[in-house]
Amino acid sequence: MQAKIKVAFFPYGLTQANPYQNLIIQGLENNGVEVIKVPGIKFFPLLTLKPAQPDIIHVFWPHDLYMGKNIFTRVVKQISLLLTLNILKKYPTVYSAENISAHNPIGMSQATELKWIGKILKRSRGIVFMSDAAKEIFESYYQIQNKKTVIIPHISYKSIYPNQITKVEAKEKMGVSGSFVFLVLGRLQPYKGIEQAIAAFKLLKNQYCKLIIAGKSISSDYFNKLQLEAGELLDGSIILNNSFIPNNEIQQFMNAADCLILNYLDVPLNPGSLVMAKDFNIPVIANNHPVIAETCENLPYYPFESGNISSLLNSMQNALLHKHNNLTVDSTVKDNSPETVGKLLLQYYQHLIL
């Protein structure tokens, strides 16, 4: 009997309430892969990989390895990383290209961060991308010509987010019956351009429309800023919900919505919210970006020019105009179940080990 491939997910746990890593682990384990969850620690985190003795190291979101809340922490982390980086060369290391750089960088310019990620990539054997467009964009930032790359689509969330409530029931529960609902859902962070979505919604001036913004805010100061932006529309046509949304309640928000707004201020490589929209078959208003266009496939998509509130407003108006055309479109994810994605990853790992 062939021994199981042993893969170390590192660092594990930075996803917090995001189930992304856990779904991939589930898919790998269902395909006979042994997954070792290696959490990040403040100093010399790569040393935690040695006792695991994996066949493969799979790196996700490395930002905490070289960033810190103050100069002392940052310097010590960077020294720790430099002294142990070559551990990644002792095992076939895979880098998961989720972002170009951190969404919320701490005390570091993007140019500096690119250099740190470049050091990790230099010691990696392969890179996983979620779309052809993501690979093309990533190549414009990093040298990856000698790496073994693979395209594996973003995993579907259908197995963990129930979808049993009707649109009518969801709207009733959310108190938005009879309204056209725009939705911003997920952790509330500046890189999502929520302020621009509020500004465009204000310009829409349509009494039959609502804007729901729901998710746990990155800070109380940021949530206060969103409340100020909403102004007199708060608790009327703009509904702000500063709380973590449990898995079984996601369906209320998604099915109450008529359109999901995605306004990335950075470079999206792996837009998980877009995959959720496909799972629930909800049209999206999103940046005019090649990764988003490719990931949407046949999902109703109203693109706008990033950073342009007038363009965003125009897309919102287009979504309203075509709302009846979206009701019969089936745009759900084809087969990106954990088992399917796990099988594709296993085949890739086997290719790297050879």
Six-digit token pair at 49? 């990989």
Return the pLDDT at 13: 78
Confidence of residue 43 (pLDDT cuts 50, 70, 90): confident
Instruction: Tell me what the pLDDT averaged over the chain comes to.
Output: 92
pLDDT (mean) for 243-266: 96
Matching residue, tokens 């689509």: 153
Confidence of residue 329 (pLDDT cuts 50, 70, 90): low
CATH number for 6-155+336-353: choose from 3.40.50.300, 3.40.50.2000, 3.40.50.12160, 3.30.700.30: 3.40.50.2000
Q: Which among 271, 272, 264, 267 has a CA at the least distance from the CA of 307? A: 264
Return the pLDDT at 251: 97
pLDDT (mean) for 165-184: 96
Task: With a cut of 90, say whether residue 14 has pLDDT above it.
Answer: no
Identity at 299, one-letter amino acid code: L
Distances (CA, A) of 168 to 89, 164, 177, 211, 230: 55, 12, 7, 17, 26
Distances (CA, A) of 99 to 56, 81, 129, 148, 313: 21, 20, 10, 18, 27
Q: CA 346, CA 354: separation in Å to the nearest integer?
A: 13
Task: With a cut of 80, say whether residue 286 has pLDDT above it.
Answer: yes
Architecture of the domain defined by 167-326: 3-Layer(aba) Sandwich (3.40)
CB atoms within 10 A of CB 231: 10
pTM of the model: 0.92
pLDDT (mean) for 201-212: 96
Q: Which among 337, 39, 29 has a CA at the least distance from the CA of 160? A: 337
Six-digit token pair at 123? 């010691």
Q: Which among 74, 82, 153, 159 has a CA at the least distance from the CA of 123? A: 82
Confidence of residue 322 (pLDDT cuts 50, 70, 90): confident
Q: CA 19, CA 59: separation in Å to the nearest integer?
A: 16
Task: With a cut of 60, say whether residue 215 has pLDDT above it.
Answer: yes
Q: Which among 146, 95, 135 has a CA at the least distance from the CA of 116? A: 95
- Summarised one tens digit per residue, pLDDT across range 100-145 is 999 988 889 999 999 999 999 999 999 999 999 999 999 999 999 8
| Strand ranges across the sheet with 238-241 | 238-241, 209-214, 180-185, 259-262, 284-287, 301-304
pLDDT (mean) for 286-312: 95
Domain with CATH 3.40.50.2000 in the chain: 6-155+336-353, 167-326
Return the pLDDT at 40: 84
Confidence of residue 87 (pLDDT cuts 50, 70, 90): very high
Return the pLDDT at 1: 45
Task: With a cut of 60, say whether residue 4 has pLDDT above it.
Answer: yes
Phi/psi for 292 (5° steps) reads -65, -45
| Alpha-carbon torsion (286, 291, 293, 297), positive or negative | negative
Return the pLDDT at 325: 62
| Alpha-carbon torsion (10, 12, 18, 20), positive or negative | positive
